């Protein structure tokens, strides 16, 4: 009988360890969706909002396919030059988890409509583990910060773009905030200015996101306690930094946050708690939308969304 009980206990322990590893693996390294995966899947094309379009040329933009490196990772992207050839400005569009650069293509319509491409070049990289870039761990945006920093440096070194607007979505939004928080002074030393930060449907708290993913599992109380603990160990005890309440408090640049009340992935309730930590910050602007699922705010609120973006550019350019 004792042996049977011991075996049961061992089986439970093995199950918990194995399932914890699987959960951690999913958090650290999401599915790598390549461009061809999207082109060949009607549902994905619809989800990405591109339908029969494949690249910036289908939106009326001449572009270059480029390759750059980030910590030994080979990353690819699309670069669209500004109409004003001597401009030093660039908007970097940064996708989120389990997607790639195709998901930001639809925003080219807005950029053209508002004439932002006159002054701003556009860069749409595939971050690690996405599109046609090398595979790699993402860790809810923790490693994205290195790719974003590399993308900024590449823009300066390859195209002399020194005035940067980071425009991130979901995990790409959190990664953008982390990149600025960590490298802001280093970028200034390189004569690179972060003009503004735009966060659409941002992942606002990585710990809360982990808890949200495990709360409905069997033995959820165990996972709620230990999944964030294990994740924190893997990323070098930096989970305490992976939330907007910490990151935006360290960032001096104008920051626009776009959030839908219908978003069930990156919830407004979590964002609201983070913003409470930033009451004294005067450089943060929040725009709430009643409709729009995760990273689809623009698609269902085009006129209002475009106007908000236009006004934000006008505001920070005047300062």
> Which three-class secondary structure state does DSSP give residue 37?
helix
> Which three-class secondary structure state does DSSP give residue 285?
strand
This prediction has a pTM of 0.94
Q: Are 248 and 255 in contact (CB under 8 A)?
A: yes
Instruction: Please state the separation of Cα 125 from the chain's center in Å.
Output: 11
Dihedrals phi, psi of 70, to nearest 5 degrees? -140, 105
Give the whole-angstrom CA distance, residue 113 versus residue 63.
18
Give the whole-angstrom CA distance, residue 228 versus residue 233.
9
Tell the burial category of 225 from Cβ atoms under 10 Å away from its Cβ (0-12, 13-18, 19+): exposed
pLDDT for the residue 199: 98
pLDDT for the residue 17: 67
Tens-place pLDDT, residues 59-101: 999 999 999 999 999 999 999 999 999 999 999 999 999 899 9
Q: Which helix (H) or strand (E) holds 209?
A: helix 206-214
pLDDT for the residue 3: 78
Q: Which residues does the chain have with pLDDT short of 70? A: 1, 9, 12-13, 15-17, 20-21, 319
Q: Are 97 and 146 in contact (CB under 8 A)?
A: no
Domains of the chain by start residue, with CATH? 1-30+206-239 (no CATH), 32-205+242-318 (3.40.50.1820)
Give the whole-angstrom CA distance, residue 203 versus residue 201.
7
- The token pair at 101 is 């650069």
Give the whole-angstrom CA distance, residue 224 versus residue 67.
40
pLDDT for the residue 12: 65
């Amino acid at each position: 009988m004792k042996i049977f009980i011991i075996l049961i206990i061992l089986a439970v322990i093995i199950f918990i360890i194995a399932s914890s590893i699987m959960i951690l693996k999913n958090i650290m390294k999401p599915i790598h969706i390549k461009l061809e995966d999207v082109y060949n899947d009607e549902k994905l094309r619809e989800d990405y909002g591109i339908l029969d379009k494949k690249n910036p040329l289908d939106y009326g933009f001449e572009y270059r396919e480029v390759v750059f490196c980030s910590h030994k990772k080979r990353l690819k992207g699309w670069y669209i030059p500004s109409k004003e050839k001597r401009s030093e400005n660039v908007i970097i569009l940064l996708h989120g988890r389990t997607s790639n650069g195709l998901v930001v293509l639809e925003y080219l319509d807005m950029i053209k409509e508002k004439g932002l491409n006159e002054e701003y070049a556009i860069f749409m990289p595939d971050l690690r583990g996405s599109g046609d870039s090398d595979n790699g761990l993402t860790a809810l945006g923790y490693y994205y910060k290195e790719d974003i920093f590399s993308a900024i440096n590449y823009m300066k070194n390859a195209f002399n773009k020194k005035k940067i607007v980071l425009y991130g979505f979901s995990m790409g939004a959190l990664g953008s905030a982390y990149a600025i928080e960590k490298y802001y002074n280093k970028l200034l030393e390189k004569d690179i200015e972060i003009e503004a930060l735009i966060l659409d449907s941002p992942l606002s708290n990585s710990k809360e996101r982990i808890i949200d993913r495990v709360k409905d599992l069997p033995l959820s109380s165990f996972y709620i306690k230990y999944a964030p603990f294990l994740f924190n160990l893997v990323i070098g005890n930096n989970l305490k930094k992976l939330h907007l309440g910490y990151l935006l408090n360290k960032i001096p640049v104008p920051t626009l946050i776009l959030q839908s009340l219908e978003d069930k992935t990156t919830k407004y309730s979590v964002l609201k708690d983070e913003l409470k930590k930033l009451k004294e910050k005067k450089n943060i602007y929040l725009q709430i939308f009643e409709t729009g699922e995760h990273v689809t705010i623009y698609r269902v609120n085009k006129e209002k969304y475009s106007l908000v973006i236009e006004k934000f550019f006008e505001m920070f350019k005047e300062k």
